[in-house]
Amino acid sequence: MRPGPRDLRFDTLRGLFLVLMVVNHLPTEIRAVTDQPLGLFTAAEGFVFLSGLLAGWVYTRKFRSAGRGGLWLAATGRAKSIYRWQIGALLCSFALVQLTERTLGYCSPAVPKLFFEHPLEALGLGASLLYQPGLLDLLPMYCGFVLMLPVVISALEAGRRWLVLSLSAAVWLAVQWAPPTDGAPLYPINTGSFNLLAWQFLFVAGVVIGHARVSGLPQVAKPSRWVLACAAAVAAYGFGVRHAQWPSLWPEATFGVLLNKPALGLLRLADFGAVAYLVAALGERIPALLTSRTLSLLGRHSLAVVATQSVAIMALLQFPALFETPASRTLVVAAVVGLLFAVASALEAARAPSAGRAPIGSRQEHGGRVIGSDGARAA
């Protein structure tokens, strides 16, 4: 049976990744648990992959119901929405930095220095997405990926699944061999810490799986004992290197390339793939383990959550006194996470049900999965 328009497990996982990202952006002891908890990858890899999977799921349905034109309109509409949230986060962050400088007479080194050194330049470059300082570099990448969807989905619908994957993998591989770039001469232009040409492979892989899922096609290799054993071995090695100081199997320089985050190094990617495969196999067998209505609330409103956490963390990092003790650091983390749930809850409440159909976000049990009625917002 083909999946319904929404699977609560994916929203739950995306909500979990958002919470992990928030904690990892703050100086707190909790990061010992949330930063790369399962191996050599971070929550960002999971968020990008799941965003691609949900996009493949949703926009394939859009293509089949509205054709190429409808798919293009849906993708560009989504990109505009992402851009608006990005600009909103930029303007709010900028305003808070300016307010702090004028009120306290200084700016913390934790905030983007261009905000107070050259304010108009920061706003102009930020609006054109040419200035993406830390905490403001995830949504622009997502915006670019969404604009790829009409081409990728059209190719998948034409039966060119392996061509799509091969081209995407080739671009990723080219980035691994490319010499490192020095961004200093380009300052103040800053396109963020993610290499879009590398991270697109993770997103496209998710789109391919999402397309296969809605099409009733095989998504990944069947969970045979051999495949599960190989995935478990890779996952165990990644966990051992990260948490048990297992020795590297490569020279230090090579190991650094394999773990490179901006370029999505091979070992980082392989470790994520192995863990994702094991989690998927477990989730198919015991769906309840990956289902949380609380976390799924964040997953359904990921744009607002990403934008809100960027502004909140940038504002809080200007006040070192908030992070002087373990108790204060923990309280700050709890407050930010609580703020995210408050924003998501407000947006959920604002989605008034349309006449004649179930409320958006309502849930039904179907085929062992918990699904909802709002497919259009899943990506």
Tell me the pLDDT tens digit for each residue of 64-91.
Answer: 999 999 999 999 999 999 999 999 999 9
Indicate the residue type of 232. A
Is 2 inside a domain boundary? no
Please tell me the predicted confidence (pLDDT) of residue 325. 95
Reported as a pLDDT band with limits 50, 70 and 90, residue 221 is low
More confident residue, 174 or 220: 174
Residues above pLDDT 70, as percent of the chain? 88
Flag whether 328 is in a domain: yes
Higher pLDDT, 149 or 116: 149
Residue 106 falls inside a structural domain = yes
In a domain, 362, yes or no: yes
**Residue 276 falls inside a structural domain:** yes
The answer on pLDDT for 314 being more than 70 is yes
Which range of residues forms the domain containing residue 301? 8-372
User: Residue for token digits 């497919």?
Assistant: 375
Q: What is the pLDDT of residue 374?
A: 38
Label residue 53 by pLDDT band (50, 70, 90). very high
pLDDT number for residue 299:
95
pLDDT for res 110 = 83
Q: Tell me phi and psi for residue 110, to 5 degrees.
A: -80, -10
Predicted confidence band of residue 186 (pLDDT cuts 50, 70, 90): confident
Residue position matching structure tokens 């909103």: 88
For position 172, what pLDDT does the model report?
A: 97
Distance set, CA 172 to CA 45, 207, 282 (Å): 14, 16, 29
Of 177 and 370, the one with more pLDDT: 177
**Residue 227 falls within a domain, yes or no?**
yes
Number of domains in the chain: 1
**Residue 62 near residue 74 (C-beta atoms within 8 A):** yes
| pLDDT band at residue 229 under the 50/70/90 scheme | very high
CA 218-156-214 angle, to 5 degrees, is 45
Specify the range with the lowest mean pLDDT, choosing from 171-175, 332-336, 370-374.
370-374
Domain contains 35 = yes
| 12-38 pLDDT per residue, tens | 999 999 999 999 999 999 999 999 999
Whether residue 378 lies inside any domain: the answer is no
321-370 pLDDT, tens digit per residue, is 999 999 999 999 999 999 999 999 999 999 856 434 443 333 333 333 33
Mean pLDDT of 191-218: 93
Q: What is the pTM (predicted TM-score) of this model?
A: 0.89
Read off the amino acid at residue 158.
Answer: A
Give the tens place of pLDDT for each residue, 118-144: 999 999 999 999 999 989 999 999 999
